[in-house]
Structure formats: structure tokens, C-alpha cells
Structure 1
Amino acid sequence: MKRRQFMQAAAVGAAATAVAAPAIAQSMPELKWRLQSGFPKSLDTIYGGAEVISKFVSEATDGKFQIQPFAAGEIVGQPQIADAVGNGTVEMGHTCSYYYFGKDPTFALGTAAPFGLNARQMNAWLYQGGGNDLLNEFYAKHNMYGMPAGNTGVQMGGWYRKEIKTVDDLKGLKIRIAGIAGLVMQKLGAVPQQIPGGDIYPSLERGTIDAAEWVGPYDDEKLGFSKVAPYYYYPGFWEGGPAIHLFVNQAKWKELPKAYQAILTTAAGYANNDMLAKYDARNPAALRRLLGSGTQLRPFSQEILEAAYKATHEVFDEVSAKNADFKKVIDSVKAFRNEEYLWFQVAEYAYDTFMIRARARG
């Protein structure tokens, strides 16, 4: 079966198993929507999620539902996407929820919470743990409907112009980081900076900032950070499994025929798995290239991780005391996380630990 035929069967068939063919045809009007991505085309893996969704939907509807993706800034910039989707400037957006932390801290939890869920656990919470329903209760207040449409896997801890060995080394450190993670780093003495991805390299080069986090080896290599900040730290404890969302204007979502809603949901789910698979496949070689060109790989010390963990839960408590939406979602995340690690400790951790040691033995 060809790819086109497979996607039609998977999407349309799943959407309308019990519906007669003529009824399906009548429920498929011709639509042309615009999808504003939060990412530049140069980051083919994460921007590519928007292209994957658009292609899937077009092929599954025989071209009747056309979605045109736009790179960051082509219609609106990344910081304006939530407003643009909510007010109908564009029908859709493909971006990270946490970029809109300034509108409401609850937005951050749609992407990742520090010391939260890894990628598999995030998907489990969103799809089976009530996470996406909780988030959509919140997104509805901003005239949006959201669904998971990508994940990078656990991210790196960023690029630093100097070594960071103790908590004291973080004091006064100007680091490009935002959202809840920014509040955590601030508690540890760092000075968080909110800088768009395209401005990170020149800011590091000029010394305007001392450090910056982005994603991981594949994307970071493309942006050239190793040329201006030699120390590459891990893990990015603030993003254990960050989700990228497809946001749809609430009214437009409700107007869609049920078949189109199902196809779009299936397309987002496909993009979700596809993006994570691409990062997992491409990061190892990129990391090897970075190390081969002189990048100094460093783990965050136990002292730093412990201090950050304590600061994180202080931030959770402080924000929860002021924001009922945030409290409702973070309580769900924490409860789900604790149950998940009961299982992961038994099976996943034991298996991975053995395999990592076996690899080290050759």
C-alpha cells in the first residue's frame, strides 16, 4: 500500500468507520487554512512538524483541506502566536505552550515542568492521564483548542561560556531561559533572559549573556553555539519531555466537520511520534560531531540538581497559591509523575542501566 493510500485509510477510515462513503464526501468541504509555526525553516526537525501535519491532512482529504505552514515571523512572530490563533488572525499555530508563560504561568505546563515528565510519560499523561483535557479547559479561556504535535525528548542543559561546578557559579549568571525554569534559575541566583532563538548566537558571542539553553545536539549544532560557548551541560532538568502543541482557533475547531477533526487529530499524533523519532535518530551523530570539534560535555553536579529540585517545588507552591488553573494542572502532573516512576524504576531504568553498562564494556 502506498503512503498516500495508507494515510487516507488510517485517517478517514478511523474517523468515520461506520459512515457511508457518500456521507463522508458531503462532509468534506474545501478549506484553506494558515498554520503559523513558532520555528524557522532551518530547524527542519521542529519546524518540520508543521509540514508533516499539512501534508498528512492534504493527502488524507484528497487535497480538500489545505493547510499552508508559515515559518516564524512570516505572519506573526513566535511571541504573538497564541494571540493570533485566539483572535483568528491565523487558524492554527504550531509552537510550544510555554512561550506564553507571561500571559499565564499555566501555559508553561503544556510543554514541560522542571523535573516533570519524560517524553513517554508526557504522552501518557496527555493521552491517557487526562492531561490534554485539563489543558484544553485552560486553553479554551484563550479561544484555542490544543493537541500534542511533537516532542524533542529530554533536552540539554545549555551552552556556557565558563564551567558551572557549584550553585555559587550560577550567581549573577545571565542565561537565556524562560518560563518556570527562569524562575527556578532566578532562585539559584542566575539572571534569566528571554531572547528569541535567532538572537542567541550573537548574544553569546558578544557576551551579552553568559549561557543559553535551546534544544539538543541536532538543533544546537545547526545554530553554531559551540563556536561561542565551549561548555555543554546536561541534563536540561527543566525539559524532561517537552511537548509541542498544535493550536486551533476554538471557533474554527468547532466548525470543522467531525471527519476533519479526526483527521487533524490523527495528523498531530503522527507528527508527535515522527518528531521524537527524528530527534532520537539524529542527536547521537550530532553529539559526536560537536565533541569532535572541541565541545566540552559536562554534567550538572548533584549539588546543582538537588538545589534546583528544591527551588522548583518552591516555585510550584508559590505559583499554585496565586493561580488555581496552574495548581490544578501541576497537581495532576506531579501525581502522574510519581506513579510513572514507580513503573519506570522497575522496568525501564533497570533495562537502560544494564544496556548502558554493557555498551561501556564494549
Structure 2
Amino acid sequence: MKSLKKILSTTLIATAVMSASVNISAAEKDWRMATPWSGGPWLERDAQNFADHVKAMSNGDFDIKVFPGGTLGSAFKVTETVKSGVAQVSHNYINYDYGVDPTAALLAGHSSGLTPEEFMLWMYQGGGIELYEQFRLEKSKVVAFPCSILGTEIFLHSNKKVQTFEDFQGLRLRTSGAWAEIASRLGASTVVMAGSEIYSALERGVIDAAEWGSPELNKPTGFQEVAKYVMVPGVHQSGGVLECQVNKRVWDKLTDQEQNMLRNAAKLSVFDSWLASSYADLAAYEELKNGKNEIVKLDPSFITKVLEETVAWEDENAAKNTWFSKVLTSQRQFKAEMTNWSEYRLTIGESEL
């Protein structure tokens, strides 16, 4: 009888331990996702798509709850929120950490850089994603990889017509990151302000112009209502990516299969975002063309000036920053490989007889 009691007792203890382990494991896979986004496609579509893909690909083992910007911490310090463990994962823009290291601009997308399609090719075929992960891990102590693609932006919503280099001189421009530096070097008077302040600043004449996002993202801001001119193309931000970050301690507890699942969910989310945003931009830009705004195309000589100043800025940073040099070299080599692309591929949206 004593032996039986001992066996039953041992069995109950083992069962309790196993049950506790299962509950802990399940709890560890109920993740909080921090974001900088208060709403819109990046929150409601892109971030949620990643969460949905992870849940589906893990057969429901992982459940990610997406939180708007400012809910789990500062909207502009999402990396710190993930690194501290307040959130296990994020949907973020690496350029918000531009002040930590300017290499972020190359990985986020910058003036006269890679187009959305080139970014995807460079990331998944040209070694970009390996550099991205290594940089984020070394500099920010988080595991990060692209999980959304950014389309080419509108160059300016402006109350002043800007077409040439001369028109750009003294322009009171709202911008941020690397473009704030490069635009200043090109003669603009740059101002950094939160997105929520731009409409009022344009309306009251505090600034002449602002850059924000692609046609789809700019549409709900109402900038077109308070600024007459719309300048294209967006050479200041020709393409880019958003990222998903995972807390390093959480990541290290995952199996190789789970880690690969997260990377694949991110890759699928990049493709989804490219399809959705590219198509949505078509309708949003058509609405601009048919509205009251004047569409202004930048003079080719001004675009050349932007490219030249960007190259000078790149070379200066590469000379003093090892990581910047490493990423820049990779991107320039990739762009060199792309030079014959136009010889055998038709431009998207155009055809030739």
C-alpha cells in the first residue's frame, strides 16, 4: 500500500510539474507587439498580417497581440521596449534609431537608394538580410528582420512650387533622419516634427512643405487639402523596409524551427505588404491627379544634384563608420549588378511595341 501511495504521489507531482511547464510555455508564446503606429495600414494591415501569419504557421501556438504606438512605451523608442522585455516583439522603423548609428538610413531606405523591388532582391538574394540581422544584434541587442516593404514616397506636399535646385533653396521643410541632413546640405531649412503636427504647420504657414509617405499613406493625412503642390518622384525615399524585432532572451529560448518560422512569416509579410501598398498607391495617386492639386515633376538636373549630394554624404559616413561602409559597399555592388536590368525588363506600368 505504501509503495502504491508513493507511486501515486510521484505521478501526481510529475503531472503537476508537466502541467506547469505546459502553462509556462503557452504563456511565453502569448506575445505583445509594440509599434510606433497610431493607426493606418502599417498598424492595421502590415503589423497585423505578421501576427496572423505567425499564428497560422505555428498552428496557433504563438498568439501576438498588436498594440498601437505609445501603449507599451514611447512610440519612438520601440527598440528599447523590446530590448527591456516589455514587449516580446515589435513592428518598427529602423530609422527611428538613426541617432544611434546612421547605418540605419541605408537599411531603412534613403535618398536615391534602392527601389522597393530592388530592396527585396538585395535583402533576399544579395545578402542584405544577413547584414540587417547582424547590425541590429550588434548595435541594439535585438533580433530583427524586414517584415514590410515601403513604396516610393511623394517628394513634397508644399505651398511653394519646387521643381529646380534653385526652388529648393531656403525651403522650410519638415523631414527627418538622413534626408534632414542631406536636404540641409542642398539648401533647405529643415524642421523635425511629429507627424501629428504637420497638417497644422502647413495650414498656418509654419513650414512651406513636408514629406511623409507614399500616396496611400499621405491620403488620410489631408496634406493635399492645405498644400497646393505635390512634387514627384520621391528621390528622397525611393524605397525601404519596416522591421520586426524580437527580444534576444525570448529568441534564444525558441527552437530552430520556431526561429525559421518567424523569419518566413516576416518574408511572407514583406511580399503581402508590397502587393497591398503598391496597388493602393495607384488609386491614391490617381485621386491626387484628379483633384485640385498641381502635380509637379522635379527637374532632372535637381534629381542629379540630390544624387550627387547623397553620394558625398555616403562617402563621408563610410570613411568613419565600419558598419556604414560594409552595408554601403554591399548595396553599391548590388546596384552595379542591376545596371543591365532595363535592357531586358520593361518598366512596370509601361509597355513597348
Give the TM-score normalised by the residue count of structure 1.
0.85
Structure 1 residue matching 2:339: 3-state secondary structure: helix
* One of 343, 347, 352 as aligned partner of 1:352: 347
* One of 147, 171, 174 as aligned partner of 1:173: 171
* One of 73, 92, 100 as aligned partner of 1:103: 100
Q: Give the match for residue 313 of structure 1.
A: 311
CA distance in 2, matches of 1:341, 1:118: 13
Q: Give the match for residue 63 of structure 1.
A: 60
1:161-240 correspondence to structure 2 within 5 Å? 161-240=159-238
Structure 1 residue matching 2:285: 3-state secondary structure: helix
Matching of residue 75 in structure 1 with residue 66 in structure 2: no
Between the aligned residues of both structures, percent identity stands at 27
CA distance in 1, matches of 2:200, 2:349: 42
CA distance in 1, matches of 2:84, 2:236: 30
Q: Give the match for residue 275 of structure 1.
A: 273
Q: Give the match for residue 326 of structure 1.
A: 324
* One of 124, 127, 145 as aligned partner of 1:127: 124
Gaps in structure 1 of 5+ consecutive residues: 1-25
Equivalences, count: 328
Distance 1:33 1:287, change over 3 A: same
CA distance in 1, matches of 2:271, 2:192: 29
Residue 133 of structure 2 aligns with an amino acid whose one-letter code is N
Structure 2 residue matching 1:58: 3-state secondary structure: helix
Q: Deviations over 1:173-203 (max 9, x none)?
A: 1212222222111111112222222222122
CA distance in 2, matches of 1:207, 1:354: 37
Matching of residue 242 in structure 1 with residue 246 in structure 2: no
CA distance in 1, matches of 2:60, 2:349: 49
Matching of residue 136 in structure 1 with residue 136 in structure 2: no
* One of 39, 46, 51 as aligned partner of 1:49: 46
Residue 250 of structure 1 aligns with an amino acid whose one-letter code is K
Q: Give the match for residue 88 of structure 1.
A: 85
Structure 1 residue matching 2:342: 3-state secondary structure: helix
RMSD of aligned Cα (Å): 2.0
CA distance in 1, matches of 2:178, 2:253: 35
CA distance in 2, matches of 1:353, 1:122: 16
Gaps in structure 2 of 5+ consecutive residues: 1-21
Q: Which runs of 4+ in 1 moved over 3 A?
A: none
Residue 211 of structure 1 aligns with an amino acid whose one-letter code is A
CA distance in 2, matches of 1:354, 1:275: 19
Structure 1 residue matching 2:173: 3-state secondary structure: strand
Residue 155 of structure 1: how far off its partner (Å) = 1.8
Give the TM-score normalised by the residue count of structure 2.
0.87
